[in-house]
Structure 1
């Protein structure tokens, strides 16, 4: 990450020791909490739908609503936050998330659930946009890549632990218990943020026009195209990975869970490997990620008939996609070092919009062509990201 000058940076206390890293861990927990809260309905659709008297398809809109709200709210929140201290801002946003999870746990009907999920979307989009650029202010320059990877490990770990844990708790104690637990976790994170983070004054106020003008910079625009292609392609394929594996590999429900666990564990490793790689050569790291993802999605329907081969391909897929968040956000933040929060808010907006678009495109392909066609859609979009990574204008490396 680029170290920038400015009033806030000048006044930042250099927390090179344990306190700075405790703050980084707290930010990772915050990211873990918001991503888990966003994705929680994935494992709870059937009981939620039955309790709220809606179909599973309608219940799935609770995930769509949250993603779309986050996509819209993140770029709008940063200008509204002005020069408020970022520790206080994060605490307020986590409190909004907690209210949303409490509302979801209580919701007597689908309308109340949608309102609750809107609050989750606002909290999630805001926390991600603000927290993503704070690692650079908590640790020495040499430790910034590792700290950034740690913050974004919250995304990967939420996929591996948060969502399955929610599904397990829902099966054990009812789907509402999962949302109560998410609210409790949010409360604990709020307390940790208040205690472990130092005061973090805003670096500079950015008007909405300044946020919207950032894509005019070709380096920022390239980064946003990269994340848009990669995330849309991934979710076009991954949303339907279960029926694809059932059709191609003939695996049952038990093995599906195992293969997804393999994917998730590999994703955590990929997050840290990509963070280290991005610190050395950002473009090369993204070329490797996009090329590998393109090839993996292309060959899975062709070679995935063997369970062993399918397991290997799922591990490669997880390892590759696990590095997408940290590498693409690093690209965007380096492209706009003078407006990290504004750039991060655009990143979060594009990322969450791409999740919704990817699921939509995958559904159209699966219904119109066939289930395995989703892999082709994902592969084409990943190939588009590969071309972008090769020919697009890259940001300058971080200054030591």
Structure 2
């Protein structure tokens, strides 16, 4: 074994205890994503309780996404000299405080304050998560570890969408956020026990973000990410008003449909691994095509029958399940040597898309109703499909390597 190989083995040993640490990060993903999207399933009761419109309540998602965008961009440079274990634990502590603020908020201002804290935790955690996973397991196990990490997303979607609406009707939306607080406490304790010390590998000043953006294919990929996630969250933020107002579902049918969405999303996440083994490009292309087509079908055929609407919403969940895994795989191929900065960029892109999606959805909801939201979401997703087909490169790292080699030879 060479010295370099020995060093590599020392840096990323695939020891069993590190898998517990990966699972603790999955719990962090679950807790954060659930807290982020609980307002989508509790939009109506939250608006009624705080005496605000549903459009204003939907901005609770928007403000979280905007702050998460900034947090994702700045976390690597602001915390570049701090142990990653301490940083991740601090984000979990912020999540607890955020959920408590929302649960006891007397008005919109306090609600948004809690969501700002959540945005800081969310953006920072997501920016560091993929790079942290790469340090917890061997290089060979990174795809499997990332798959485990992302299973927290659909499970959280099920909890936020189906259980959130159902429990909100039983015990009130404030108690749902208190339950989310309890889960966040358990997450913090588990992370404290399992996460090892992880000193920063090398300084990451803000200028690194610029250099990463200059990598071949990055700009087009980021634009595609913006379109895909903006389209999805334009629809998802207002899925409850669609099911209630267009499909005329009661609370039981609503909860069942959102549960089907979450289960399908989980299945889609699992199917992503199978699809990505065969073709990253096809996966990136097929999912927004399915979702965009469903958006226009919901806009034109929505309300035809409750069962048809429920099926289309579930299919949307399945398609979206593969999206985060596919784009995370893409980003690791683009910037494997700057995983934290690349992770920050993709988190910022997604959070900007969430903010834009929720904001655009709110505007379209007020102008053209929820059917206008569906049509807008479908248009954005089909535009993303066209961009991916024409311009997105799935192996930009090879080009970067060739450019570096050419520069060396000159």
Q: 1:144 and 1:191 mapped to 2: Cα distance?
A: 24
Contact 1:146 1:276 in 2 (8 A): no
> Cα deviations across residues 1-54 of structure 1 (Å, max 9, x unaligned)?
xxxx899966424124x3232222111110111111222333444554555454
Pair 1:189-2:187 in alignment: yes
Across the aligned residues of Structure 1 and Structure 2, the Cα RMSD in angstroms comes to 2.8
> Cα deviations across residues 164-202 of structure 1 (Å, max 9, x unaligned)?
434444444443333332222222111211211222232
Give the 3-state SS of the residue equivalent to 2:151 in structure 1: helix
Structure 1 residue 293 displacement after superposition: 2.1
Once the two structures are overlaid, the 10-residue window that deviates more, 70-79 or 214-223, is 214-223
What TM-score, normalized to structure 2? 0.85
Give the 3-state SS of the residue equivalent to 1:225 in structure 2: helix
Q: 1:114 and 1:8 mapped to 2: Cα distance?
A: 46
Pair 1:112-2:110 in alignment: yes
Give the counterpart of 2:28 among 22, 27, 30.
30
Contact 2:229 2:354 in 1 (8 A): yes
Contact 1:150 1:272 in 2 (8 A): no
Once the two structures are overlaid, the 10-residue window that deviates more, 149-158 or 95-104, is 95-104
Q: 1:207 and 1:20 mapped to 2: Cα distance?
A: 28
Q: 1:293 and 1:58 mapped to 2: Cα distance?
A: 26
Contact 2:158 2:263 in 1 (8 A): yes
Structure 1 residue 118 displacement after superposition: 1.4
Pair 1:153-2:151 in alignment: yes
Give the counterpart of 1:258 among 248, 256, 259.
256
Q: 1:217 to 1:372 in 2, by over 3 A?
A: same
Q: 1:217 to 1:356 in 2, by over 3 A?
A: same
Contact 1:12 1:200 in 2 (8 A): no
Tell me what 1:269 maps to. 267
Q: 1:233 and 1:260 mapped to 2: Cα distance?
A: 18
Pair 1:317-2:292 in alignment: no
Contact 1:148 1:275 in 2 (8 A): no
Q: 1:256 and 1:92 mapped to 2: Cα distance?
A: 36
Contact 2:68 2:124 in 1 (8 A): yes
Contact 2:291 2:319 in 1 (8 A): yes
Tell me what 1:207 maps to. 205
Equivalences for 1:306-385 in 2 at 5 Å?
A: 306-385=305-384
> Cα deviations across residues 274-296 of structure 1 (Å, max 9, x unaligned)?
13322442112112212222322
Tell me what 2:233 maps to. 235
Q: 1:243 and 1:188 mapped to 2: Cα distance?
A: 32
Tell me what 1:87 maps to. 85
Q: 1:6 and 1:61 mapped to 2: Cα distance?
A: 50
Structure 1 residue 361 displacement after superposition: 2.2
What TM-score, normalized to structure 1? 0.87
Equivalences for 1:160-199 in 2 at 5 Å?
A: 160-199=158-197
Q: 1:110 to 1:260 in 2, by over 3 A?
A: closer
What are the ranges of 5 or more consecutive residues in structure 1 without an aligned counterpart?
none
> Cα deviations across residues 134-189 of structure 1 (Å, max 9, x unaligned)?
32333343432222122112121111014543444444444333333222222211
Once the two structures are overlaid, the 10-residue window that deviates more, 246-255 or 150-159, is 246-255
Q: 1:227 to 1:243 in 2, by over 3 A?
A: same
Contact 2:34 2:160 in 1 (8 A): yes
Count of equivalent residues = 393
Contact 1:220 1:336 in 2 (8 A): no
Contact 1:232 1:378 in 2 (8 A): yes
Give the counterpart of 1:144 among 132, 142, 145.
142
Pair 1:291-2:324 in alignment: no
Once the two structures are overlaid, the 10-residue window that deviates more, 245-254 or 78-87, is 245-254
Q: 1:136 to 1:272 in 2, by over 3 A?
A: farther
> Cα deviations across residues 309-359 of structure 1 (Å, max 9, x unaligned)?
333322321110111111112212321111111111111111122112112
